[in-house]
Amino acid sequence: MDIRIVKIGENSQDYIEIGCHKTDENINEIVSFIKSRQGAVEGTKNDRQYQLPVVDIFYIESVDDRTFIYLEKDCYESRKKLYEFEQVLASRRFVRISKAVIINLMKIVSISPALNGRFLCKLTNGEEVIISRKYVPDIKERLKG
Amino acid sequence: MKDRIKEIANSYFISVTLINAAIFATGMIFRPEQTFGYDAYLSPLILGFLTLIPTLITYSSKELTIRQLLFRKAIQLLLDIVIVIAVIFAESEINSETVTAAIGVSVSIVIVFAAVHVIEWTLERRTAKQLTEQLAEFQQRNSS
In this structure, whether the domain defined by A40-144 belongs to CATH 2.40.50.1020 is answered with: yes
Cα separation, A41 vs A43, whole angstroms: 7
Phi, psi at residue A42, to the nearest 5°? -90, 135
Cα separation, A108 vs B132, whole angstroms: 9
* In contact, B116 and B14? CB cutoff 8 Å: yes
pLDDT at A115: 77
- Give chain A positions within 8 Å (CB) of B62: 99
User: Which structural domain, as residue segments, surrounds residue B13?
Assistant: 2-142
The DSSP secondary structure of chain B, one letter per residue, reads: -HHHHHHHHHHHHHHHHHHHHHHHHHHHHH-TT----GGGGHHHHHHHHHHHGGGGGG--SSPPPHHHHHHHHHHHHHHHHHHHHHHHTTTS--SHHHHHHHHHHHHHHHHHHHHHHHHHHHHHHHHHHHHHHHHHHHHHHH--
Provide the whole-model pTM: 0.70
B35: left (phi over 0), alpha (psi -120 to 50) or beta: beta
pLDDT at A16: 84
pLDDT tens digits for range A119-143: 999 999 999 999 988 898 889 988 8
Q: Which residues of chain B have pLDDT under 70?
A: 1-3, 144
pLDDT band at A110 (very low <50, low <70, confident <90, very high): very high
pLDDT at B105: 87
pLDDT at B75: 93
Q: Which of residues 57-76 of B touch A (CB under 8 A)?
A: 58, 62-66, 69-70, 73
Do B127 and A136 count as a contact with CB atoms less than 8 A apart? yes
Crossing angle of the two packed helices B2-30 and B96-142, in degrees rounded to 10: 140
Provide ipTM, 2 decimals.
Answer: 0.73
Lowest mean pLDDT among A26-35, A111-120, B76-85: A26-35
Q: Looking at the partner chain, which of A13, A15, A105 has a beta carbon nearest the beta carbon of B138?
A: A105
Q: Which of B72, B71, B109, B111 is nearest to B87 (CA)?
A: B109
**Structural domains in chain B (count):** 1
- Spans of all domains in chain A: 40-144
- A58 vs B13, more confident: A58
**Does any CB of chain B come closer than 8 Å to the CB of residue A31?**
no
Q: Which of B125, B124, B122, B118 is nearest to B15 (CA)?
A: B118
**Does any CB of chain B come closer than 8 Å to the CB of residue A11?**
no
